[in-house]
Each structure stands twice: as C-alpha cells, then as structure tokens.
Structure 1
C-alpha cells in the first residue's frame, strides 16, 4: 500500500502524460486482444471486409454486418490509430483526448472505420497547413469529425459509381468535410455557449443536413436503417462490465485507493473542457468515468434493456465524454427527465434503439445541470428525448452524432430562456455545489 500511495504523490505533469498515453494504448490493445480471442482469422477477415465496404448509414450494427470479433478489432484499431497519431505529433495529454479516443472506439461499433476516417483526417491536416498551425491542434477535431463517416461510405458504395472514381469522389468530399469542420465547430460553439459537450457533433449534424439536401437534389439520398432490439446479448454486457471494472481498478490504483477527493470532481463545471487533470488528477477522472458507466449500465438493467453492439459503443462514447466534467451528480436529473418522457410517450418503446441511445446521450447536456441547477437539467433531459429520436430525418443518417445535433439545438434553445428566468427570479440560479 505504501508503494501505491507514492504513485499519487508523484502525480506530476510528466507522469500524467506517460500514464495517460499508456492507458489509452493498453485499452486499444485489450480490444484487439478480445477480437483475436473470440473470432478466427477467417471470420475476422470476412467481417472486417464487410465493415469497410458498408455504407454505414445510421444505424448500422457492425457486430451484425461483420461479427463480434471484427467489431472489437475495428474499435481497438481506431483507438490505437488515434492514440498513435496524437503521440507522434506530441499532443499534450488532456481530457478531450480521452473523449476523442473513447468516442472513436464507441462509434467504431456502428459507423466509424479507418477507410472513412482517413479523408476527414486529411482535410483537418490541410486546414492546419493552410493556417500554418501544428496538426496536433486539430487531430481531435478530425477524430470527432469521423461522425460524418457515413458520407464517405454512402458515396463509395451506394451510388453505383465504378472504382476508382467512387473512392476518389468520396475522399475528395471527405477531405472537404475535414477542412471545414474546425472553423464550423468554433463558430457553432457560441450558439449553445458550451451547454452541450458535443460541439463537433453539432457542427457535424449541420454539415449532414446540408449534404443530405444536396444528395436529394440528385436523387441519391441515403435511407436510414431501422434497428430494433430483439435479443439479449450477455457477451456485450459482460464486456462492458469488464471494461468499466478495468477503468475503475486503474483509477483506484492511481489514487492509492483513496476516495476522499471524489467530491472535488463533482464541483467542476462541465463547460470548462481542460481543467479536470489540473484540479482533480488522472486517477479521479478514471474513477468518475467508471461511476458514470456503471450508472448507465444500471439504468439499462432496471429497464430490462439488453446491451447489443450499438449500445455497447454508445456507453463507451458517453463514458469518454464524462472525462470532461460530466459526473453522476450532474447527470441524474437529466436521466430522470429523459426517462419520464420515455414512459409518457406511447410511441416510445424500449425496443426502439434510437430512443435508448437518445436516453444515454442526453447526459451530454450536463453543463446545464452543473451551472443552472437540477430543475433545468431535468427539463433539458425531457427536451432531448423528445427531439433526438426524430432528428435523424434531418440528416438522413449521414451524421453518427445524432444526439450531438439534438443537444446543441436544445442547449441553444434553452440558454436564453434560462437567462431570462434567472433574471426575473422565475427559477433561481442554483448551480450544483
């Protein structure tokens, strides 16, 4: 125990940089290891081929398109690719990096793959070169920008264009997307004033809406894939618990099994994206991620909702976002508000996966709870579950961050109402303490 305590005392910036990268590398390798353990090389090759050549319009379950092993390999490989790219370009380890890698790993179960991600990364690289700024500054935007991977898949495999022209056109469009995302993300951030954690998701959704209508003009628009939960999957449930347990154990070891400072994390404001490592430490961030993940798994268990590949990826992505200020205290009111709508609306069924995903992703609005209190968090959760399941029709499944667009719209809609209510003392300002 004495040696474990020394880890926490020597929690220097250099140590955090080393251990942060090591954690992400190890997690990536673990996912690849799982894939190799559960699938034969032949199954893996066939599954990966199906994944890479799939249009992957929202929603597409890669564990069904390929197999469980190929889905895990795709996830682990993308996380490894992103982490390696960040390390090569010497990006300083930060909370947003955790979110980006986890988002890649999560969405790799239903839409992201290396073929579709590369042109978007190329676009952000070109943007950095034109701006004469280091590429490391925009790598994370490129990773999050993989939300528009279905655009590349759709142009490549759904329009009937012969090779190699389909690839050339898809990669040109992908590079253009990657090029415009950095300035658009910065601009649209002011719309919701940081009240949503899904900034790139909102920008991606707007781009998706524009592209859908361009496709409609030429009568080549995609069709969203309806998916329902039809069977339980103990495999994904056990894998999710194993991943969360690993995160929890690593966090406990780093903190020397001391949870006395856990309240410090709950006092951090969710709209500040780069303060968690400084104020709370890497170990506390991991513990918070594990707590949020276990809470979401518990919510699904109470509702008797099975975890399939898509919901596994959803929880992965949300757990990553919790590194940026989201915590159990700030998300409970949002989950309660969203759950109320789930049970009140007759058309909403626990078998509609887009509804369950909206429920889980609703907690990206946690900055509203943190800064304005539980009442507004509850209201935000209600609005999110009303809007998010229907908003896919606006971008036709071309953006994987469906809730990113919804939460940005809701945050932008509620912000002036919250300010007005607090100015008139209709609802007193009561941020979480």
Structure 2
C-alpha cells in the first residue's frame, strides 16, 4: 500500500523530533560521566567484541554507551537527510532500532561496511541509493561481523582487516535481494524481515567457519547497575512521545490503529500522522511496565528490545497484537520453571512481538500459542546465528512464521 501524508503545523517534522531525542541521549551520557571516562569508554566500545550479548553499559559504563548511541543515530539521521528520505513509519522504526542497538552491538565505526555493501548493490542495479537507504540502515544488525572476523582469523593484521571488511561489504551487497525473497516466504507476518534474512546469512557463515575448525565464542556481558538512570531515560522519552500524540485529534485516530493486523507494510505514520507517536508511547509504557513487573534489568539489551517495540509502533505494532505473544512466552517460561527475568526469557518475550501480525490477523489464542513456540525455538535453535545477527529474534520469528502461516491458512480454507 502507498499512503500520502499531508504535512501541516500539527504534524511535526520527523527529523527535528529525532534530532532532539538523539541530542538528549548524548547530553545525558556526557553529563553522567567524567570526560576522561567517556573517551576511555568509547575506545572500549570500538575495540571490544560486539556479538550477542555484549552490553555496552557493562563494557564501558552508561555515559559512553549513551554517547555512542547518540553519535551512531545522528549519523544514520544524516544519511537519511543527505538522501532526502521522506519521513515514514519505516524510517522512524529504523531510527529507534539504531538508537537501541547502539547500546548492544552497533557503534559509529562498525556500521559502515554493510552500509557500503548496500550502496554498492544500488550502483550495480544502476538505481538511486535513496531507494535502499532503509535496508542499508537495517543491514547494520550484522555490524559485529567485521570485528569478529578480525578477532578469529589468524592472519597478518592488515590482510585480516581487509578480509573482514570485504566480507562485511559483500554481505551488505547480497542482503537486499535476499530480504526481498524472505519477505515472500513469510508473507509479511514477520515484522523483522531483515533480521530473518540476516539470520540465514549468518547460519551460512557460521557453518563455513565451523567446517574449517573456526568457532565463534559466545558472549554474555550483562549489566545490572544502571537501572535508575535507564528508567529516567526511558520514561523521559515515553513522555515526549505521548506529548506529541496526546491531542484530541490524535487520540481519535488511536482506535483506528488498533484495528490493523500490522502485517507488512502497515505504515501507521503515513496513515495517522502523530497518532503513531501516541501508539509508540503507549507501547513503551506497557512493555517498560512488563520489565519492571518481572524484575528485569534495564540495560543495553533490554532497552534495545524495548526501543525496537516502540519504533515498530510506527509501522505494525500496537498493544492488541503484541500482548498475546509476550503472555505466551511468559506462560511457557513459567510452566518450565524458568525465571521471567533471565536474559534469554526477557529478551525473547520482547522480541516475540516481531510476530505481531499473526496475533493481529488470527486472534489472541493463535498469538498466545505463537509466543509459546517462539520461546521454544529460541531455546533450541537461537544459537545458530552465533551471536553475529543482532536481530536474532527476527531470525526465529521468520522460521516460525513460514511454519505456522501455511498451517493456519490451510485449516482456515479447509485444505487439511
């Protein structure tokens, strides 16, 4: 579907709004940490392994983490501005993903190889890069791969650097056609389509490395000491979002958002303007409350997944199509005697909302069952991407969607 939004004084510019958000994040980082520690922390972020789960708050403290998130997000915003990208829900979503995952795997150095790869693909296709800038931004979910290959390849330093960057660029080049194909596979029921495509790429890479006896060591760096300042940060952003959409006109449009299944591409921003910010803020309240209720940690990984949900509030997610999935994950964990606040459980709960269109299209019960299955698949095959794909929930969601959708559709039509 194509939607056109008539901009007026009531519809604030997406660039200005996110410029304010990113500068706010950066200023909080700067004023929360001594300057000397900021520089040391940024250096640690750039030089450390960044595969899942590498919480930059654990690596370098909250100040450097927020500053990295601010710089990285501003760079992506600049790319959009240079390419004159028209604001839409997809753009908003990618900006929030960048902001969140720049606290757990992305930094302003490692994002460039895959972006360059997508750029080169656009040139091979003799097409404008502006048509690929969204997928270029999403390709940065594979940002950890260049530093990881540099770490594990036992070659001359310069050769290793050249090889690792070249492989990352190549991955960026093959991602656009693969993502286009994977979208057909799950028919738009997995909102994290690029995460699914990246997961397939990483399975291939991990398999090749393992064949030659090269193994990628898993990471679990998880901070627990910055909950108060993280809570202040997240609540401040939620309040800002709600303030953008709280007007009577925008409130009246919220009920329309709740009627959509969320199947790709359902662009709430192009259809309902600033009402999408209200939806994003409400999603933030719900899932921040969930983290607090289960006594989960607020750190790089959990904020990344929370911001992911908030971002997709502009394109596909709303309370009615996300809550059943999270309840399904939580129920499965509970009956399995797994604590709800473990890293795997809480991240899988939040990440299961990638399948919101299934819940939105087929109802609460199917959504609940889908959430149950998402946790089970994550437990047993989530490791296949080796931690290289930051959007690993999208990989699991893609597999689950291509299994469930034909079955659901078959029963509905009487084919089985």
TM-score interval, normalised by the smaller of the two chains: over 0.9
Measured against aligned partners, the alpha-carbon deviations of 1:58-78 in whole angstroms (never above 9, x if no partner) come to 110101111111111111111
Say which of 47, 51, 60 aligns to 1:57. 51
Other-structure match for 1:372: 362
Alignment of structure 1 residues 289-308 onto 2, 5 Å? 289-308=280-299
| Pairing 1:32–2:26 present | yes
Measured against aligned partners, the alpha-carbon deviations of 1:281-320 in whole angstroms (never above 9, x if no partner) come to 1x11100011111100111222122212221122112211
Q: Report the Cα distance in structure 1 between the residues aligned to 2:163 and 2:271, rounded to whole angstroms.
A: 46
1:229 and 1:351 in contact (8 A); partners too? no
Q: Report the Cα distance in structure 1 between the residues aligned to 2:124 and 2:234, rounded to whole angstroms.
A: 41
Other-structure match for 1:355: 345
Report the alpha carbon displacement of residue 16 of structure 1 after superposing the two structures with TM: 8.2
Other-structure match for 1:42: 36
SS at match of 2:48: coil
Say which of 245, 263, 269 aligns to 1:271. 263
Q: TM-score normalized by structure 2?
A: 0.94
SS at match of 2:257: helix
Say which of 300, 308, 312 aligns to 2:303. 312
Q: Report the Cα distance in structure 1 between the residues aligned to 2:328 and 2:70, rounded to whole angstroms.
A: 34
Q: Report the Cα distance in structure 1 between the residues aligned to 2:223 and 2:36, rounded to whole angstroms.
A: 28
1:141 and 1:182 in contact (8 A); partners too? yes
Measured against aligned partners, the alpha-carbon deviations of 1:229-266 in whole angstroms (never above 9, x if no partner) come to 756722212211111111111222xx357522210111
SS at match of 1:294: helix
Q: Report the Cα distance in structure 2 between the residues aligned to 1:409 and 1:324, rounded to whole angstroms.
A: 21
Please list every run of 5 or more consecutive structure 1 residues that lacks an aligned counterpart in the other structure.
1-10, 427-433
Say which of 404, 409, 430 aligns to 2:394. 404
Other-structure match for 1:148: 142
Alignment of structure 1 residues 92-171 onto 2, 5 Å? 92-171=86-165
Point out the more displaced range, 11-20 or 348-357: 11-20
Going from structure 1 to structure 2, the CA distance change for 1:57 and 1:16 (only over 3 Å counts) comes to farther
Report the alpha carbon displacement of residue 349 of structure 1 after superposing the two structures with TM: 2.5
Report the alpha carbon displacement of residue 366 of structure 1 after superposing the two structures with TM: 0.8
Aligned residues: 412
Please list every run of 5 or more consecutive structure 2 residues that lacks an aligned counterpart in the other structure.
none
